[in-house]
Amino acid sequence: MMENISLDTVTLKNALRLMMEGSEYHTFKEVAETLEMPRSTFQSSLDNNAIRVRDLQKIVHLLGYELTLVKK
């Protein structure tokens, strides 16, 4: 499990894969089902590298992470 993940260096999809490595969730389908999100909507948002902040917050908390913004 990675401690810090920067979206400057990886796509959102790959960042979530990294977070999932240290969790009980092994597929995006499992994450979507747990959060009661339509799988197709969830997958589309990852494929387009565009997801609502509130949805991202739910996902990162589910996977045991915290969303933090840092000034450059």
pLDDT at residue 15, as a whole number: 92
pLDDT at residue 56, as a whole number: 95
| Cβ atoms of 16 and 63 closer than 8 Å | yes
**Tens digit of pLDDT for each residue in 15-65?**
999 999 989 999 999 999 999 999 999 999 999 989 999 999 999 999 999
